[in-house]
Amino acid sequence: MKLYNHPMAPNPRRVRIFAVEKGIELELENVDLLGGQSHTPEFLAKNPSGGVPVLQLEDGTYLSESVAICRYLEGVRPEPNLFGRSLREQVEIEMWNRRMELELLMRTGSVVVNTHEMFRGFLTQFPEYGNAQRPVVQQRLERMDRELEGRQFIAGDRFTIADITALVAIDIGAMLAGIKPGPELKNLARWHHTVSSRPSASA
Amino acid sequence: MKLYNHPMAPNPRRVRIFAVEKGIELELENVDLLGGQSHTPEFLAKNPSGGVPVLQLEDGTYLSESVAICRYLEGVRPEPNLFGRSLREQVEIEMWNRRMELELLMRTGSVVVNTHEMFRGFLTQFPEYGNAQRPVVQQRLERMDRELEGRQFIAGDRFTIADITALVAIDIGAMLAGIKPGPELKNLARWHHTVSSRPSASA
């Protein structure tokens, strides 16, 4: 299967990590987002929302939205399980994945796109709004540190899609927004070391 | 089961509509969001993220995040199916639900919380940022109109969770942001009439 990808954007990285965890090899085709390639008629035919990742399935059709793509990969390759087995476990993991996405990844994304010079000229930036999200992200990281007290992973005692979302969010925040969780957040540092040491983290 | 609710907030309405479609009766307990009730220690013990909806399950534990709650209700009462049956249908519906959530509901929410007087004093508003989201929402509505050409519902030929998310987004935008899709968006108007006519829409 082919994944329309960007080497730095956080959402394609979620899918790349997920695929490595599954042992699924994806053919990567990079899309020049800042060059406008995701908004060409040709690309919009694949994903009318004009973003990556987009997965081309075996039958030639296209699927977008990171979590939908990951769920598809879980369906075609159920092990190792990353979305939960019982109904109760599934919804618990979904709750945590959404918390990491809405409260951490999207907030961090708001800082990045509204403050980083890379996006100047590409979109209208609202730096005051973006900078106001920094302390919100910082507080969420501090809360994560408390949540990870006595708990090995984000959603409990095993690695799930929620860890992937959190890892990608923290790494993009450190790289493009200068938000680096300090070493005093010991549980968070321990978790980050653990998940960053998995082979999938280099995807 | 008890749902911690707010009568006007869009996310609890998603769950209320979903429950009516399922024929599941929920006991509602309203939470005074603007009065700070969702950030009391008692409420944070139920949902540390401090928001509604929160579902109290039969075993007394709590589940938050609208889509996780809806998936739980789908699990305990599989019919009528609102999340998809085959893997392919499931991920297609998830893609559409996420598009409606990220591109429509969250953008509309940004307009509302950053511009409506109801939130003045409750949070720091960035009106310039909020108002800049209005044309983005408007363009998304125009694109919905094209997507709904020859298609009865958001994700295809039957009512799904994606329709619920879209309905809630459009209704809150009309009510609190003054964003009303015009009658020239004929497909969107037809769809909105159809979904608003279902008994669940009054939930």
Q: Inspect the interface and report whether the beta carbons of A48 and B128 lie closer than 8 Å.
A: no
Starting at the edge strand found earlier in the chain, the sheet holding B27-30 runs: B27-30, B2-5, B54-56, B62-64
pLDDT, residue A61, reads 97
pLDDT, residue A101, reads 98
**Cβ contacts (< 8 Å) between A49 and chain B: which residues?**
99, 103
* Phi, psi dihedral angles at B36 (to 5 degrees): 90, 5
pLDDT, residue A24, reads 98
pLDDT, residue B23, reads 98
Mean pLDDT of A79-90: 98
pLDDT confidence tier of residue A142, bands split at 50, 70 and 90: very high
pLDDT, residue A124, reads 95
Mean pLDDT of B29-44: 97
Question: Do the bridges between strand B27-30 and strand B2-5 make them parallel or antiparallel, or are there none, so unpaired?
Answer: parallel
Count residue pairs from A and B with Cβ separation < 8 A.
73
> How many Cβ atoms from other residues are within 10 Å of residue A173's Cβ?
25
Sign, CA torsion B61/B14/A47/A117: negative
**Cβ contacts (< 8 Å) between A88 and chain B: which residues?**
72
Which of A59, A63, A87, A91 to probe by mutation at the B interface, max B CB count within 10 Å? A91
Tokens standing for residue A20: 């490595």
**Cβ contacts (< 8 Å) between A129 and chain B: which residues?**
126, 128-129
pLDDT, residue B200, reads 98
Mean pLDDT of B34-44: 97
pLDDT, residue A73, reads 98
pLDDT, residue A58, reads 92
**What is the least distance, in Å, from the CA of B136 to any CA of chain A?**
12
**What is the least distance, in Å, from the CA of B75 to any CA of chain A?**
6
Q: Which residue in chain B is spatially nearest to A89 when comparing CA positions?
A: B72
pLDDT confidence tier of residue B102, bands split at 50, 70 and 90: very high
pLDDT, residue B168, reads 98
pLDDT confidence tier of residue A113, bands split at 50, 70 and 90: very high
pLDDT confidence tier of residue A180, bands split at 50, 70 and 90: very high
| B68 closest CB neighbour out of A48, A49, A95 | A95
Q: Inspect the interface and report whether the beta carbons of B91 and A98 lie closer than 8 Å.
A: no
Q: Which residue in chain A is spatially nearest to B54 when comparing CA positions?
A: A95
pLDDT confidence tier of residue A22, bands split at 50, 70 and 90: very high
pLDDT, residue B7, reads 97
Q: Inspect the interface and report whether the beta carbons of A68 and B98 lie closer than 8 Å.
A: yes
Rg (CA), chain B: 17
Q: Inspect the interface and report whether the beta carbons of A87 and B94 lie closer than 8 Å.
A: no
Q: Inspect the interface and report whether the beta carbons of A67 and B94 lie closer than 8 Å.
A: yes
pTM of the model: 0.98
pLDDT, residue A187, reads 98
pLDDT confidence tier of residue A98, bands split at 50, 70 and 90: very high
**Cβ contacts (< 8 Å) between B69 and chain A: which residues?**
91
DSSP one-letter string for B38-53: GGSHHHHTT-TT--S-
Buried b (16+ CB within 10 A) or exposed e, A26-60: bebeebebeeebbeeeebeebbebbbbbbbbeeee
pLDDT confidence tier of residue A26, bands split at 50, 70 and 90: very high
pLDDT, residue B45, reads 97
**What is the least distance, in Å, from the CA of A75 to any CA of chain B?**
6
pLDDT, residue B152, reads 98
Mean pLDDT of A117-144: 97
**Cβ contacts (< 8 Å) between A64 and chain B: which residues?**
95
Query: Tens of pLDDT along B158-189?
Result: 999 999 999 999 999 999 999 999 999 999 99
pLDDT, residue A151, reads 96
Share of chain A residues as helix, strand and coil, in percent rounded to the nearest 5: 55, 10, 35
> How far apart are alpha carbons A85 and A91 in whole angstroms?
10
Q: Which residue in chain B is spatially nearest to A86 when comparing CA positions?
A: B75
pLDDT confidence tier of residue B40, bands split at 50, 70 and 90: very high
Q: Which of B117, B136, B22 lies closest to B69, judged by CA?
A: B22
Q: Inspect the interface and report whether the beta carbons of B65 and A98 lie closer than 8 Å.
A: yes
Q: Is B63 helix (H, G, I), strand (E, B) or coil?
A: strand
User: Which residue numbers of A have CB closer than 8 Å to B's CBs?
Assistant: 48-49, 63-65, 67-69, 71-72, 75-76, 87-88, 90-92, 94-95, 98-99, 103, 106, 124, 126, 128-129, 132, 143, 147
Measured in whole angstroms, the distance separating CA A117 from the mean position of its chain's CA atoms is 21
Q: Inspect the interface and report whether the beta carbons of B126 and A132 lie closer than 8 Å.
A: yes
**What is the least distance, in Å, from the CA of A109 to any CA of chain B?**
13
Q: Which residue in chain B is spatially nearest to A124 when comparing CA positions?
A: B132
ipTM: 0.97
pLDDT confidence tier of residue B66, bands split at 50, 70 and 90: very high
Percentage of chain B beyond pLDDT 90 is 100
pLDDT, residue B127, reads 98
Q: Which residue in chain A is spatially nearest to B65 when comparing CA positions?
A: A95
DSSP-derived letter for residue A202 is G
Measured in whole angstroms, the distance separating CA B148 from the mean position of its chain's CA atoms is 19
pLDDT, residue B42, reads 98
